[in-house]
């Protein structure tokens, strides 16, 4: 019954219909709709793009709803999987100030939509007035009015509900009509709770308003929100200096990488490297016959984006590696760099996918006067853009077929935006578990657009946010609406392209503090190793962020047995991340007041509030710093707030008892540049003891 | 030519199409559209409601636009009157951070729409790269590329432009093809400014993106933004105590009201007052035969909403009054209260417009246990809601026909919202000069909805915002987006319903400071007089905001010759408002730092920045207060900022010379509770003197 009413209308709410012109309102069959839905949140560009969540999580939706006068609204959150037709409903509750809220949990991966329906409810309005009536005559007349509403509800009901409501209506009407009947017991009958619930099941929704937008939602798997990345160049995984590493060599490294606590292992491109215009070590324009070139110069005579560089191994070796990684709790992420070396097979097979110049050469990538002669970009304005799109998607399909479910996309902002929306949408329609990380270090609105278009995670400016003021401003922005609803940050202290000047001194305290910041400020972070744990810190030139002897252009050999390796420290931090749900979320971040500009303190809590982690980082790599942190016990679940509570530094193992609002902290970078406190609330005291009462 | 390209597409931008599903993108004929329009501002609920402006004003529009890679965009603001089909275009300029801006001036009253179109411009992209080219071979090849673009532009041009572009293309290509040609002069030819302008007139817009929403805009007359209201009860305008005032009596008051500087004269309802359930003085439930009742209990045997209470005069008297008011620069504003006294003719003629109770009576207005037996509300869920809407609109039509162009609408939030959107839309379609003020003292989201639906101005919480903190927070909200784009505040220190406790002491300093606050914080304000200028300040009961012996229920007689009348003060403040364009705007308000919580200071400037007014108010009615105001000379147009400048207090006539960033102020409420400074910048010094150089 209700379903029919519900399904028969779509976006016909006169008070909310998009772009309705006012003079059509009187022609609208629902001009007498009095409920107003002014806004539905979250929303990305008014529903143009999907909000992101994780399957199984509580997805909270709010609506701003009201009506004229004092009548009572009922508001329903309506949601469905995108490929279903029937909406499910959850009653929304008023939070005050005309804000209503409800939540639902998308049961599985995939796309959903949600919207809101609201109506002025005559039964609830009558009931609300009745609770406030005192005059006996008023109670009697109002009871007769109510009997009519209840009879109407009976007419919409069937079976036992119908019978119960009919009986209630008759009795109420009869008692009200009896001269001199007792108004107090009449009012009690009118306000019967159980019967009211029965009536509520059969509301009159003929005049319901429905928000005209169905807001899309993508439910990902948890790794889209919480992930720990390790990047390495497989070709540098060889056991001997100067010998090209292989997938087999990488397999040997898996236990150590898993031991450090990572769950995503990401490789730069693994395809044949172009020979034409190949770059030499340190980005030299000329290369020798032994030089391996840049893996991002993709494609040579032997193959392109779907092929594997022979020196790394075979397709079979790759599949074996993927399987072994899985056994260690690691997923392999591949780099998707949609560009070609001049000798990529595409250049001959599909000349129309490139821009040709009057001299018969292909327009290589350039930003004058800079030139990238080893890279040919695709021309997304090609007349055969459909052919190009289809081929590029088939590259993704190929690697999905090989078992890859995570892609790090190289410079997506230099490819046409509509392509990404289409390609990611298509891939995720068939494989909703696929995760895309956008490597776009570009202007803010461009990065946000890519996230809106469908990228699951995004690189950030973290690398260049170093002072307290910078970190507070940036992570406040990242953890609040509207960005928090679609832009999932993945923060990196270093990448093969970025050896930040802070790291160029090589101090362990800097490497440790930046790692702690990344690991605790953001639910997803990554490092480019082994350069990070072994503190490779020399730049190619002064003033550059390029590594000296960068793996981008040559093989490197790493001493994993270095006793100064930060691997044990990283392992400890990553274990803390795994064990504390508070660190799996970005939304709950809040910064704490500290009276020292070198100390940064912030709290995060799990969605249910049970787990609270307070991190304090000394941003000064050389000098001990101390200060007072403002942390109100009531805000970390300590009740009553006057109680003492334990702060367990899970990094050092130390435990401190705190009480009140202000707390002294001192951090010596030579020992530990950070505290990662888990708040341990006391769950028992003498009042919980059996004989206390 | 351009027009054709332009007109042939609508909302088909693949990268912005509303609600497009990703898998349709490859079927979209414009998948190769690379320009992205991420947002257009201002926008009210994504274009669901109109932005408000004033005809002739500069309407600034911003868009967030970018593309992949480094190519150059061109962006056009497109606007038209709603009833026209052809868009006009204004080139948008980049402000940085991917924000583009342009402005247009709606030439006349009425509704407009605007949107944005952007495209990756091959000619500009080529030109931008060319400016940075240094290698002679690059310049030669690039010139050949450019010759092709220019030839293409020639193909889109006609007449002289075509000829000029063809010649340019040929010459550029020929010189580029000449071995050993001089790259410097070739580059100069390629970058010819005048020819570039010719080429820009013929862009290739085949791949243009167009924002899928056409944003509505209402252009009102200036009084919708800047107005000064005076409310009086005509029935109390009589010259003798106890004698019912008439329109003729009001005419006699016009010079004094105009002299005080008001431009809108607003009357409570002027219709026949119901006799059934008529209220007595001070809202007594019983009334005597001499009692005049509440003018908001509209309708009696002799007529309803289109009729005039006989004691006030005739329709002819009313028209005469309207004409006389106009001569004094005053517009008459009428009160629209869509509710009925029990004896209103509608009750018998249209019983289906009311809710009937089982006892055969009409459901009067109530919010249990409060009852308003003299008021019958309309039932907007009536089956005949169309008939009700049409009749209510005909009431507005009637008074528009009588020359009224401003309506103050009583409690619009207790009538169905869709009605207002329709009725205001219809009236303004025929009479775009009509102004509607929403008297809704209710919850914030409801007040905002009414403004979105079309009300030109809105009552505010000003009356209850008294401390510095309250005023700063509230007026900051009122003067910033999104509200500033559709919600125009009209602030009132008092109304017939609200004698705020601050005023109940009757101190002149309070009445003066509240008036200055209203008149300078808000471009529109009003007072309920003569109660205000004569400081009527006794409440009916302690703890109430109701006036004792309120004019709402009885006649009053006022002594306009009271030497303590604030009329001269009000006249001075209103003259200052008229003479200073800075006070005609809400958008430019900014609060200044003062190191004293009893002093409030703020600046406003005219749109062109030429007129700057700084107001300082002592919020303490009893004690002199002093403090230091932070005002950076550069922010009020003083250049260089080290120069001294004159602060002319146009309230007292005093002039002060200020210099630097911090300025001492002292205000004694016994003399003047406020400064209203006009910043007088020095326009000449010795360097401007003839013989200086």
**pLDDT tens digits along B608-621:** 899 999 999 999 99
Give pLDDT, residue B366: 83
Among candidates B414, B343, B352, which has minimal Cα distance to B373? Answer: B343
Gap between the terminal Cα atoms of chain A? 54
Cβ-contact B188, B139 below 8 angstroms = no
Instruction: Report the run of H or E that residue B388 belongs to, with start and end.
Output: helix B385-401
B410 is catalytic: yes
Residue of B nearest to A14 (CA): B418
Give the gap in angstroms from C-alpha B75 to the nearest C-alpha of chain A: 16
Residue B129 to residue A382, Cβ atoms within 8 A: no
pLDDT grade for B683, boundaries at 50, 70 and 90: low
Q: Is B94 exposed, middle or buried (0-12, 13-18, 19+ CB in 10 A)?
A: middle
The one catalytic residue among B220, B439, B533, B586: B439
Residue range A388-412, pLDDT digits in tens: 999 999 999 999 999 999 999 999 9
Which residue stretches of B24-135 are H helix? 122-132
CA distance B491 to B55: 23
> For the ranges A167-171, B106-110, B177-181, which has the lowest average pLDDT?
B177-181
Q: Model pTM greater than 0.90? A: yes
Quote the mean pLDDT of chain B. Answer: 93
Give pLDDT, residue B127: 97
pLDDT grade for B181, boundaries at 50, 70 and 90: confident
- Give the best residue of A130, A359, A417, A454 to mutate against chain B (max B CB count within 10 A): A417
Residue B422 to residue A25, Cβ atoms within 8 A: yes
Residues of A in contact with B47 (CB under 8 A): 18-19
Q: Is the pLDDT of residue B19 over 90?
A: no
Give pLDDT, residue B372: 86
Cβ-contact A326, A318 below 8 angstroms = no
Give pLDDT, residue B13: 39
pLDDT grade for B540, boundaries at 50, 70 and 90: very high
Residue of A nearest to B413 (CA): A68
Instruction: Report the run of H or E that residue B40 belongs to, with start and end.
Output: strand B35-41
Residues of B in contact with A426 (CB under 8 A): 22-23
Give me the mean pLDDT over the B340-357 stretch.
96
CA distance B681 to B480: 27
Residue of A nearest to B421 (CA): A22
Catalytic site positions of A: 410, 439
Which residue stretches of B10-135 are H helix? 122-132
Q: Is the pLDDT of residue A365 over 80?
A: yes
Give me the mean pLDDT over the A604-614 stretch.
94
Give the gap in angstroms from C-alpha A268 to the nearest C-alpha of chain B: 21
Give the gap in angstroms from C-alpha A447 to the nearest C-alpha of chain B: 11
Give pLDDT, residue B574: 98
Q: Is the pLDDT of residue A64 over 70?
A: yes
Residue of B nearest to A430 (CA): B23
Give pLDDT, residue B20: 41
CA distance B450 to B444: 10
* Prediction ipTM score: 0.92
Residue A38 to residue B448, Cβ atoms within 8 A: yes
> For the ranges B363-377, B407-421, B470-484, which has the lowest average pLDDT?
B363-377
Q: Is the pLDDT of residue B18 over 60?
A: no
Residue range A678-692, pLDDT digits in tens: 999 876 666 656 565
Give pLDDT, residue A639: 84
Q: Is the pLDDT of residue A28 over 90?
A: no
pLDDT grade for A20, boundaries at 50, 70 and 90: very low
3-class secondary structure, B688: helix
Nearest 5°: phi and psi at B108?
-145, 170
Q: Is the pLDDT of residue A597 over 80?
A: yes
- Give the best residue of B18, B28, B217, B358 to mutate against chain A (max A CB count within 10 A): B358
Residue of B nearest to A18 (CA): B48
Give me the mean pLDDT over the B383-397 stretch.
97
Place of tokens 């909200």: B477
Quote the longest CA-to-CA distance of chain A. Answer: 109
CA distance A115 to A265: 38
The residues that bridge with A568 in the sheet, in sequence order, are: none
Residues of A in contact with B425 (CB under 8 A): 21-23, 25
Residue B129 to residue A366, Cβ atoms within 8 A: yes
Q: Is the pLDDT of residue B583 over 90?
A: yes
The one catalytic residue among B410, B485, B551, B620: B410
Residue A23 to residue B358, Cβ atoms within 8 A: no
Give the gap in angstroms from C-alpha B670 to the nearest C-alpha of chain A: 41
Among candidates B126, B124, B120, B162, which has minimal Cα distance to B141? Answer: B126
Residue A445 to residue B70, Cβ atoms within 8 A: no
Q: In this structure, how many other beta carbons lie within 10 angstroms of the beta carbon of residue A155?
A: 13
Give pLDDT, residue B325: 98
Give pLDDT, residue B679: 95
Q: Is the pLDDT of residue A276 over 50?
A: yes
pLDDT grade for A370, boundaries at 50, 70 and 90: confident
Cβ-contact B404, B330 below 8 angstroms = no
Sign of CA dihedral A550, A556, A562, A566: positive
Q: Is the pLDDT of residue A13 over 90?
A: no
Q: Spell out the residues 6+ positions from residue A645 whose beta carbon is closer than 8 angstroms to its own.
A: A633, A636, A638, A657, A658, A659, A679, A680, A681, A682
């Amino acid at each position: 019954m209700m379903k029919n009413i519900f399904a028969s209308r779509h976006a016909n709410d006169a008070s909310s219909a998009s772009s309705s012109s006012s003079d059509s309102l009187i022609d609208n069959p629902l001009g007498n709709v009095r409920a107003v839905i002014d806004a539905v949140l979250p929303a990305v560009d008014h529903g143009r793009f999907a909000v992101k969540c994780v399957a199984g999580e509580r997805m909270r939706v709010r609506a701003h709803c009201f009506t004229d006068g004092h009548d009572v609204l009922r508001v329903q959150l309506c949601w469905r999987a995108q490929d279903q037709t029937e909406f499910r409903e959850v009653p929304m509750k008023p939070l005050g100030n005309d804000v209503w809220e409800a939540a639902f949990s998308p049961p599985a991966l995939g796309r959903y939509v949600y919207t809101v329906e609201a109506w002025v409810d005559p039964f609830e309005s009558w009931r609300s007035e009745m609770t406030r009536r005192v005059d006996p005559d008023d109670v009697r007349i109002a009871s007769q009015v109510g009997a009519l509403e209840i009879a109407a509800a009976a007419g919409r009901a069937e079976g036992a509900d119908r019978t119960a409501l009919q009986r209630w209506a008759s009795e109420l009407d009869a008692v009200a009509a009896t001269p001199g009947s007792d108004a107090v017991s009449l009012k009690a009958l009118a306000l019967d709770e159980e019967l009211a619930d029965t009536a509520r099941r059969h509301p009159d929704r003929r005049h319901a308003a429905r928000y005209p937008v169905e807001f899309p939602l993508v439910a990902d798997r948890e790794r889209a929100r919480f992930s720990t990345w390790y990047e390495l160049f497989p070709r540098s995984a060889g056991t001997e200096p100067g010998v090209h590493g292989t997938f087999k060599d990488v397999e040997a490294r898996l236990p150590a990488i898993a031991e450090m606590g990572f769950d995503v292992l990401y490789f730069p491109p693994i395809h044949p490297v172009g020979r034409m215009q190949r770059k030499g070590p340190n980005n030299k324009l000329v290369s020798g016959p032994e030089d391996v070139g840049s893996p991002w110069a993709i494609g040579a005579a032997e193959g392109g984006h779907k092929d594997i560089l022979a020196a790394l191994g075979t397709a079979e070796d790759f599949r074996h590696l993927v399987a072994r990684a899985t056994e260690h709790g690691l997923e392999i992420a591949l780099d998707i760099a949609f560009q070609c070396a001049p000798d990529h097979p595409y250049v001959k097979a599909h000349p129309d996918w490139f821009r040709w110049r009057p001299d018969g050469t292909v327009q290589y990538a350039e930003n004058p006067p800079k030139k990238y002669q080893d890279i040919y970009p695709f021309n997304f304005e090609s007349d055969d853009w459909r052919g190009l799109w289809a081929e590029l998607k088939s590259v993704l399909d190929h690697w999905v077929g090989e078992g890859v479910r995570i892609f790090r996309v190289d410079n997506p902002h230099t490819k046409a935006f509509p392509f990404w929306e289409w390609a990611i949408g298509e891939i995720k329609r068939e494989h909703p578990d696929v995760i895309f990380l956008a490597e776009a270090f570009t202007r803010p609105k461009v990065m946000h657009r890519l996230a809106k278009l469908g990228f699951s995670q995004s690189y950030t400016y973290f690398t260049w946010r170093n002072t307290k003021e910078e970190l507070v401003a940036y992570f406040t922005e990242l953890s609040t609406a509207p960005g928090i609803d679609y832009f999932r940050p993945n923060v990196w202290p270093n990448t093969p392209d970025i050896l930040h000047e802070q790291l160029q001194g090589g101090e362990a305290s800097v490497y440790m503090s930046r790692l702690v910041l990344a690991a605790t400020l953001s639910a997803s972070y990554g490092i480019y190793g082994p350069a990070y744990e072994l503190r490779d810190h020399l730049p190619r030139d002064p003033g550059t962020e390029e590594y000296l002897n960068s793996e981008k252009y040559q093989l490197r050999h790493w001493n994993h047995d270095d006793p100064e390796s930060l691997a044990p420290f990283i392992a400890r931090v990553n274990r803390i991340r795994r064990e504390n749900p508070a660190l799996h979320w970005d939304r709950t971040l809040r910064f704490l007041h500290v009276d020292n500009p070198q100390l940064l303190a912030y709290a995060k809590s799990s969605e249910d509030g049970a787990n609270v982690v307070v991190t304090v980082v000394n941003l000064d790599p050389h000098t001990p710093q101390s200060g007072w942190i403002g942390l109100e016990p009531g805000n970390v679940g300590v009740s009553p707030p006057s109680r003492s509570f334990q702060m367990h530094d899970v990094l050092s193992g130390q435990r401190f008892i705190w009480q009140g609002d202000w707390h002294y902290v001192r951090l010596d970078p030579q020992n530990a540049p950070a505290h990662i406190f888990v708040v341990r609330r006391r769950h028992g005291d003498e009042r919980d003891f059996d004989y206390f009462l």
